[in-house]
């Protein structure tokens, strides 16, 4: 087991390894124009992702469907919380597919806000978007980063039937911290059951999960998440540094050194994952396409 101490780096200025460049360049501007012109939301912007400059500069983005208002209030997330009151834009799948086609993307990560105001949690829009992309951009791959649909496996099957190439659902944190970090409707075991069902439904499809560290978890708890994920067949495991988006959100307990991330990544690889991504700036969709390299 790894013995590097995680404690007492907290409440210090952000270390150099977490400082990123400002967005710039032709590819960045092209992606920005496209998502703005087609009235698309990106999790890159809504979640204040530190990799926005790198990913948009490389001509890729993570599209967020079903609006910009989430019905849940996780304590780590900067996406707006509220009640969308059942409003759905049924033309959104077409606009997303057109953006993928026009930008020449061959790999798209598609995510969504939680929509507990909808009977199916937004599953049908998710499925329609995957199908539109596959139809309009032959040869493309679609990874979906999905919610838990309140544990409704029938809703989940609507999404899975659209045949996304990767199904991702994030555990976000260790079991002990889940009630403090995630919305009360998001349960650790419920998330495991979603991942397990997705793998059983399509064993050849990659499943994926991600956690943040720096919230006060222990080495043993991190390893337990790895074991729990493998026990339900998860293929891809990512870890990144939690960053506090605003003062209203949970504070960072520890800025974890890149060496620690490297060692945790090595530990995860011993568990048998197909792909492991572990670094301070890693996010669920970061270098996602490399699973197929």
Confidence band, pLDDT 50/70/90 cuts, at residue 284: confident
Q: Can you give the pLDDT at residue 1?
A: 45
Helix, coil or strand: residue 180: helix
pLDDT at 35: 66
Backbone angles phi, psi at 58, to 5 degrees: -90, 0
What average pLDDT does range 88-92 have in this prediction?
Answer: 94
Q: What is the CATH number of domain 16-292?
A: 3.20.20.70
Where helices occur in 107-257 by DSSP H, the ranges are: 123-136, 153-160, 178-181, 188-201, 219-231
Provide the whole-model pTM. 0.87
Each residue of 159-217: pLDDT tens digit?
999 999 999 999 999 999 999 999 999 999 999 999 999 999 999 999 999 999 999 99
The pLDDT value given to residue 103: 81
Instruction: State the pLDDT confidence band at 13, using cuts at 50, 70 and 90.
Output: confident
| pLDDT band at residue 14 under the 50/70/90 scheme | confident
Q: Which of 17-21, 84-88, 172-176, 202-206 has the lowest mean pLDDT?
A: 17-21
Task: Give the residue among 204, 211, 207, 170 at the shortest CA–CA distance from 190.
Answer: 170
For the CA atoms of 65, 280, 142, 137, the dihedral, rounded to the nearest 10 degrees, stands at 90
Domain boundaries, the chain: 16-292
């Amino acid at each position: 087991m790894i013995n590097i101490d995680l404690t007492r780096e907290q409440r210090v200025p952000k270390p150099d390894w977490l400082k990123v460049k400002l967005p710039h360049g032709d590819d960045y501007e092209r992606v920005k124009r496209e998502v703005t012109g087609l009235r698309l939301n990106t999790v890159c912007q809504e979640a204040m992702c530190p990799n926005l400059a790198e990913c948009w500069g490389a001509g890729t983005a993570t599209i967020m469907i079903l609006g910009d208002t989430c019905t849940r209030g996780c304590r780590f997330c900067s996406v707006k919380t509220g009640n969308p009151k059942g409003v759905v834009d049924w033309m959104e799948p077409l606009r997303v597919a057109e953006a993928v086609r026009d930008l020449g993307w061959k790999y798209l990560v598609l995510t969504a806000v939680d929509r507990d105001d909808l009977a199916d949690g937004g599953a049908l829009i998710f499925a329609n978007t995957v199908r539109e992309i596959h139809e309009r951009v032959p040869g493309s791959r679609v990874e979906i980063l999905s919610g838990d649909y309140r544990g409704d496996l029938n809703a989940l099957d609507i999404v899975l039937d659209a045949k996304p190439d990767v199904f991702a659902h994030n555990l976000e944190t260790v079991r002990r911290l889940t009630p403090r970090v995630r919305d009360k409707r998001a349960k650790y075991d419920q998330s495991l059951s979603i991942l397990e069902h997705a793998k059983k439904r399509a064993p050849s499809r990659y499943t994926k999960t991600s956690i943040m560290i720096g919230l006060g978890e222990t080495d043993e708890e991190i390893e337990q998440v790895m074991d729990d994920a493998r026990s339900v067949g998860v293929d891809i495991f990512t870890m990144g540094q939690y960053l506090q988006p605003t003062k209203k959100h949970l504070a960072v307990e520890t800025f974890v050194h890149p060496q620690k991330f490297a060692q945790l990544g090595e530990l995860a690889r011993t568990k048998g994952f197909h792909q492991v991504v572990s670094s301070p700036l890693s996010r669920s969709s970061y270098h996602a396409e490399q699973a197929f390299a």
